[in-house]
């Protein structure tokens, strides 16, 4: 968006301030204060803070992202008046967020239409709901409570675009951190990473009407290998299997550990496709073990697959169908 087109009149100083501080935000390593930083930028540039940063959970419901930084008194008052903590139960706000997602641009709405019981300070009569999109992916919405003013929607769109970029940076950094957490036996990303990625993919599949599959590959005769050749040999074999799977999965798929087995998230893949893809991976592993470990018994690898929405409609039910008796991992 060309900021120079708006550098006139009442908004000139605010837009220049916004451009300068957004650049500083993206250069910062302290992304843990994301919501608070955008409250500050919004209040200076728009005249109102980012009252709600709402992100969809795995069931598609919008939940407010809490700020870790100190809030201004005005922000705290708006947050309390809107009762943002009960946002998932607010059907009017959820409908407005859904409309903003579908139309792909900021919408100006009356605050009392979204929050009929809110008693806001004077000058907070309009809610601008701005969708957060990045590279075609919908991340959530930002909502600014403002007094009606010219170009308010334009400035909100600028803030929303940069919020999406910052959220993506935050997510990438979190993914990079998790990638350093490796399963000590299989030497692939651990179960916490795998489940977090699966939650994200199911959420995306739900919102856009797509499929996503999850399959496990388990070395059933691992005990026999350990008894005959020892733990050192078995550990080397398991790591080689992990390396083979990493080299064999599609770029769009995600490999990790799950309940002591290798697991692969098959994006945009039906149950039948997930099963077939997992069997292809199994065949590649069996062939690798036969060639590289001729002294070892043939790899007996079981394959199990589930998919959304064919098998179940939520993550925990999908994981329970894949691994009976599994204990849930917190999101």
- Per DSSP, 60 falls in state S
Per-residue b or e along 42-72, where b marks 16 or more CB atoms closer than 10 Å to that residue's CB: bbebbbbbbbbbbebebeeebbbbebeeebe
Output the pLDDT for position 14: 61
Given this model, what pLDDT does residue 146 score?
Answer: 75
What is the CATH superfamily name and number for domain 182-322? Answer: Reverse transcriptase/Diguanylate cyclase domain (3.30.70.270)
Question: Could you read off the pLDDT tens digit of each residue along the chain, which spans 331 residues?
Answer: 333 444 444 556 666 656 656 655 555 555 445 555 665 666 666 666 566 778 887 667 788 776 544 555 566 667 777 777 777 788 888 888 888 888 888 888 888 888 887 777 676 778 888 888 877 778 888 887 777 666 778 777 877 877 777 777 667 666 666 566 888 888 888 998 899 899 989 998 998 899 999 999 999 999 999 998 888 889 889 988 998 998 889 888 999 999 999 999 999 999 999 999 999 999 999 999 999 888 889 999 999 999 999 999 999 999 999 987 665 444 4
pLDDT at 13: 61
Q: Say what the pLDDT of residue 8 is.
A: 43
Question: Hey, what are 193's tokens?
Answer: 């990473």
Q: Phi and psi for 88 in degrees, rounded to 5? A: -60, -20
| pLDDT value for 263 | 96
Question: Which residue is associated with the tokens 């301030």?
Answer: 17
Q: What is the pLDDT of residue 266?
A: 95
Q: Locate 77 and state its tokens.
A: 């008052």
For residue 161 the two structure tokens come to 């675009």
Q: Among 60, 197, 329, 313, which residue's Cα sits nearest to residue 321?
A: 313
Q: Give the C-alpha separation, 152 to 146, whole Å.
A: 8
3-177: CATH superfamily: GAF domain (3.30.450.40)
pLDDT at residue 330 in the model: 44
Helix or strand (DSSP H, E) at 96: helix 91-103
Rg, the chain, Cα only: 24
pTM score above 0.85: no
pLDDT score of 31:
45
Q: Where exactly are the structural domains of the chain?
A: 3-177, 182-322
How many angstroms separate the CA atoms of 30 and 314, rounded?
A: 33
pLDDT of residue 307: 96
φ, ψ of residue 329 in degrees (nearest 5): -105, 135
């Amino acid at each position: 968006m060309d900021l120079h087109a708006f550098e006139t009149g009442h908004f000139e100083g605010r837009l220049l301030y916004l451009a300068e501080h957004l650049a500083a935000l993206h250069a910062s390593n302290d992304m843990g204060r994301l919501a608070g930083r955008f409250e500050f930028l919004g209040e200076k540039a728009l005249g109102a803070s980012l009252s709600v940063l709402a992100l969809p959970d795995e069931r598609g419901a919008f939940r407010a992202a809490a700020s870790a930084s100190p809030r201004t008194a005005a922000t705290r008052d708006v947050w309390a008046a809107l009762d943002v903590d009960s946002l998932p139960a607010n059907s009017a706000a959820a409908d407005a967020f859904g409309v903003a997602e579908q139309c792909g641009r900021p919408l100006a709405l009356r605050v009392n239409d979204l929050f009929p019981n809110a008693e806001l300070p004077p000058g907070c009569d309009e809610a601008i709901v701005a969708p957060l999109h990045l590279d075609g992916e919908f991340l959530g919405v930002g909502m600014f409570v403002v007094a009606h003013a010219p170009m308010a929607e334009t400035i909100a769109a600028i803030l929303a675009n940069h919020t999406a970029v910052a959220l993506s940076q935050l997510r990438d950094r979190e993914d990079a951190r998790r990638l350093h957490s490796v399963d000590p036996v299989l030497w692939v990303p651990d179960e916490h990473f795998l489940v977090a990625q699966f939650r994200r993919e199911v959420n995306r599949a739900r919102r856009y009407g797509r499929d996503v599959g999850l399959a496990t590959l388990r070395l059933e005769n691992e005990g026999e290998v350990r008894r005959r050749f020892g733990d050192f040999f078995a550990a080397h074999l398991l790591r080689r299997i992990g390396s083979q799977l990493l080299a064999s999965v599609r770029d769009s798929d995600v490999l990790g550990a799950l309940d002591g087995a290798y697991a692969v998230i098959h994006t945009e893949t039906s149950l039948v496709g997930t099963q077939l893809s997992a069997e292809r991976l199994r065949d590649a592993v069996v062939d690798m073990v036969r060639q590289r470990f001729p002294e070892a018994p043939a790899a007996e690898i079981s394959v199990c697959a589930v998919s959304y929405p064919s098998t179940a409609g939520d993550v925990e039910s999908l994981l329970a169908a894949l691994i009976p008796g599994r204990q849930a991992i917190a999101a």
